[in-house]
Structure 1
Amino acid sequence: MVLLTISPEVALADEQVKIRAWGLPPQQIITIRAWLKDERGKFFYSRAFYRSDEEGKVDLDHTPATGGDFHGVHPMGLFWALRCTTPFFRLIKRDVMESPFEIHLEVYCHLEMNVMPECSPEASTCLRRWYVAPGVQRVQVRKGRVRGALFLPPGDGPFRGVIDLFGGFGGLVEFRSSLLASRGFAALALAYFAYEDLPETYNSLDLTYFEEAIHFLSNHPKVSRGGVGLLGLSKGGEVALAMASYLPQVAATICINGTVAASGNTNYGDIFLPGISPMSERILFAHNGSYYAFYTYGDPTNPENEANMLPIEKATGPVLFLIGEKDKNYASLYFAKIAAARAEKHGKKDVYIECYPGAGHLLEPPCSPFCPEFRAASVAIPVMRGGELIAHCQAQEICWAKTQDFLRDNIPCSRENKL
């Protein structure tokens, strides 16, 4: 009898699991297939081939994949490689509180080449991947102008406060904040355009909106005093740098593959930063109809663009850049080096760059599927995000640990110094 097991069968989405099969024919190539259906009804799938040992066992912690969607020993490779049957769709958990993703695993005692096999598997099992730990509370936020969702760990706190910002697809994205709260942070998933009564685009940003969000989070009775952390991806990384540059309540900032100059008009009181216009001649179209957005914004070092640069040397706390070296959206490493050099010139020493070879634009929590390209609602055609499957997903594991360590090390955790 063939058996397939996952341990644990219920886990947080950023946790590794153990996958084993036994009762297989000895020394035979078998197929293990993973699939799930997301909240929109879209199917995602992956598969890898393995050779059973002399006892008819396969243990993904030790047995290398000999083919399929990846090669080598990668215990979470089947999760990394999940891709949609509909091109250019990205797997995003929208309702983090009410239901997990159910990932089905199946084993076939042969080389199964069909995406949707016609025969029944020899064995199957199911893993439930939650994006929120037991006891985490979600609070819908409609306070003044601020729109978002606040995730609070169980207990009285105080908890380190983090504002979580995503990029150019807009709306409210909660899955990273819910995981941060599951790891002990009070995380505010902050919407800033294309949501409820907020502006439809990010072409013009008023930093007083984000300042209001900081005050809301800092004054929550379960949030520690003395400053908040910022975590931003892509356009959200740029926004985080702008907040850190002008708002003294920011204790620590992480920018994931963002720009270091205003890509849209940004103002704060009497301060105005004009946005760098996109340069269409730098957009490269790929054979599959998607495009590379690499270098679409002007060079921040050009004297003509000096007024667009974010003055991160004014940031009161440390700044960490997490960079995918194969980012196809922005010249992220180049931008980060410009920012670090500018900070150094002005005497700011606590700007750090972590660069990951083979990683692309969308560096997300561990076990998130690799997404080299997808279509955002705000863009007419699919955009290449870049990266290589194994290198990118390994980088995600490292980045998630560094993110938590950096925020814990640099955000004060006390009830004193109320803002």
Structure 2
Amino acid sequence: MIQLTATPISALVDEPVHIQVTGLTPLQMVTLQASLEDEIGRLYYSRAYYRANEAGEVDLEHAASLGGDYTGVHPMGLFWSLKPEKLLSRLMKRDVTRPFQVQLKVYDLDSLLNNKAASAPKASLTLERWYVAPDVTRIQVREGRLRGALFLPPGEGRFPGVIDLFGGTGGLLEFRASLLASRGFISLALAYFHYDDLPSKLEETDLEYFEEAADFLLRHPKVLGPGVGVVSVCKGAEIGLSMAIHLKQVTATVLINGPNFILGVPHVYRGQIYQPMPHSIQLLSFTRLGLVEFGGIYEETRIVNNQYISPIEKAQGHFLFIVGEEDKNINSKVYAKEATEQLKRNGKNNWTVLSYPGAGHLIEPPYSPLCCASGTPGVCSAVHWGGEVIPHAAAQEHAWNEIQKFLRKHLIQDVTSQL
């Protein structure tokens, strides 16, 4: 009898799953298929072809996929190779209190390829993939101007505090903050436009709003202090950089594929206005499929307008730059290099750069599928984010561990070493 097992059957999304098929005939060819439906009914699916060993078993920790959506030994390949049935869709968890249900199925390869009516799965099961641990507390935040969601790990101890910022889509995205809380951080998923009663679009970036968020975290009795961390991507990383420069409360900043200057609208802090870098919309580029690439629109003006480069050397905290070298949206490899050279010229040694060949713009938690292109409401209907499936998956897994190590080092160890 053919059996499909996956261990654990229910787990956080950043945890690997051990998948095995037993009861096959020796050297039998099978197809393993994964699928899930997101909260708005969009389907994502993947498949890979495997040959059983002499014992009639396929163990994804050792067996190589011979074809399908990936080849080679990749125990979590069925997860990170999920692709949308509807083009330009991005898999995003909207309600972290409920898991994604991932369907795993085993098919006889011959009957599937021949489209036989009898090609029902030989075995199947459903996995739960959670973005929040069961003992993490979620609190809706509506305090003063602040809008967001606060996630508290269990236990009485004090925990490092982190502000989590996403980019130009706006709204409130909680999946990274909830996962960070599941790993021992008090995390504030912070909305800053296009959510609740916040402005529908940004006319300016008020850094005092983000300062209020840092103070809100530091007032919480469970937050370790004296500083907080920031985890940020894209437009959020632009803001994260300004926070690190201007706010003494910010002592550890993760910048995922961000610029070293201000994008689009001015930043305002305590009466001072900081202007965005001019850009040339004529330098917008398009792929053969009509996908928009924003990566080049600042290149001409940035070279002759270096007065717009953010004064990163004024920051007192530490930086972790995470770079996808195949990012088609922001030239983040160049910007991270410029930022670190600027720090070096000013006698600073407060940064780490992780640069990943083959990784695209949207570097997410481990085992998330690569989103190479998607629509961005209010910005563009088809943005090319870039990335290659296998190296992007490896980058996500490595970066997630490094983000946690960086935050613990500079929010816990640096504090305790000073006591």
RMSD of aligned residue pairs (Cα, Å): 1.9
Q: Describe the SS at the equivalent of 1:381.
A: strand
Aligned residues of 2:105 and 2:121 also touching (Cα < 8 A): yes
* Distance in 2, Cα, partners of 1:300 & 1:333: 18
Question: Deviations for 1:160-201, whole angstroms, at most 9, x for unmatched residues?
Answer: 000000011110000000000000000000011111111222
Residues 75-224 of structure 1 aligned to structure 2 (within 5 Å) = 75-97=75-97, 99-111=98-110, 112-113=112-113, 119-224=119-224
1:67-107 Cα offsets, whole Å, 9 max, x none, are 0000100000000011111111111111111x110100000
Kindly tell me: are residues 289 and 43 of structure 1, through their superposed partners in 2, closer, same or farther at Cα, counting changes over 3 Å? same
Check conservation: 1:289, 1:381, Cα contact below 8 A. Answer: no
Mapped partners of 1:383, 1:243: distance in 2 = 27
Alignment-derived partner of residue 274 in structure 1: 275
Q: How does 1:289-328 map to 2 (within 5 A)?
A: 289-298=290-299, 302-306=303-307, 308-328=308-328
Alpha-carbon distance change, 260 to 109 in structure 1, aligned in 2, over 3 angstroms: same
- 1:358 matched residue in structure 2: 358
Distance 1:119 1:109, change over 3 A: closer
Segments of structure 1 that go 5 or more residues without pairing to the other structure are none
Cα pair 1:158 1:413 within 8 Å, conserved = no
Q: Give me the TM-score of the superposition, normalised by structure 1.
A: 0.95
Tell me, in whole angstroms, the C-alpha distance in 2 between the residues paired with 1:54 and 1:321.
47
Aligned residues of 2:292 and 2:383 also touching (Cα < 8 A): yes
Q: Sort the Cα spacing of 1:88 and 1:391 in 2 relative to 1 into closer, same or farther, 3 A.
A: same
Cα distance, 1:359–1:203 mapped onto 2, change above 3 Å: farther
Q: Match of 2:352, SS?
A: strand
Pair 1:113–1:173, CA change in 2 (3 A): farther
Change (3 A) 1:37 1:312: same
TM-score calculated relative to the size of structure 2: 0.95
Moved more, 398-407 or 51-60: 51-60
Which 5+ residue runs of structure 2 have no aligned equivalent?
none
Worse-superposed segment, 326-335 or 289-298:
289-298
Tell me: CA distance 1:116–1:364, structure 2 relative to 1, closer, same or farther (3 Å).
farther
CA shift, 1:269, in A, is 1.5
Aligned to 1:376: 376
Structure 2 counterpart of 1:393: 393
Counterpart-to-counterpart distance in 1, 2:228 and 2:221: 14
Q: CA deviation at 1:381?
A: 1.8
Cα offset, 1:414, TM superposition:
11
2:272 partner letter: I
Question: Of the two structures, which has the highest relative contact order with CA contacts closer than 8 Å and spacing of 6 or more?
Answer: 1
Query: Sequence identity of aligned pairs in percent?
Result: 48
Equivalenced residue count is 414
Greater shift, 110-119 or 373-382, is seen at: 110-119
Distance 1:413 1:54 in 2: 51
Q: SS where residue 362 of structure 2 aligns?
A: coil
Say whether the 8 Å CA contact 1:152–1:181 is kept in structure 2.
yes
- Which amino acid letter does the alignment assign opposite residue 102 of structure 1? Q
Shift of 1:343: 1.3
Moved more, 344-353 or 276-285: 276-285
Q: Residues of 2 paired with 1:365 and 1:311: CA distance?
A: 30
SS of residue in 2 equivalent to 1:132: coil
Whole-angstrom CA distance in 2 between matches of 1:378 and 1:393 = 28
